[in-house]
Amino acid sequence: MSRRYRNCIGPGVRRLRMEKGLTQEQLAARLQLAGLHHLERVAVAKIESQLRSVYDFELVVIAAELGVEPTRLLPSVRSLKSDLEDLISGRRS
């Protein structure tokens, strides 16, 4: 069974959010106050589950609200290479 696979930052977003003791609702509220009005709790959940694509400008704001540089949310080159075909096809088995 395969599932949609739309971003590579979801696990990092979830990890940092939880380290900071934030709920998805709290992170969504921070993102909305920072200008990403369209990112509600459901969108945060979909990003973390890798079900929603993330625009580059969203990556920058998400990282800022989590208090890290955007590169902290990105996987290593080795990890990305192993997932590249899945990301391109949008499917993960």
Q: What is the pTM of this model?
A: 0.88
Fold of domain 3-92: 434 Repressor (Amino-terminal Domain) (1.10.260)
Give the domain ranges of the chain: 3-92
What is the helix, strand, coil percentage profile of the chain, to 5? 60, 5, 35
Taking only the tens place, the pLDDT of each residue in 48-71 is 999 999 999 999 999 999 999 999
pLDDT tens digit sequence for 65-89: 999 999 999 988 888 888 888 888 8
Q: Phi and psi at residue 87, in whole multiples of 5°? A: -65, -45
**84, 8 Cβ separation under 8 angstroms:** no
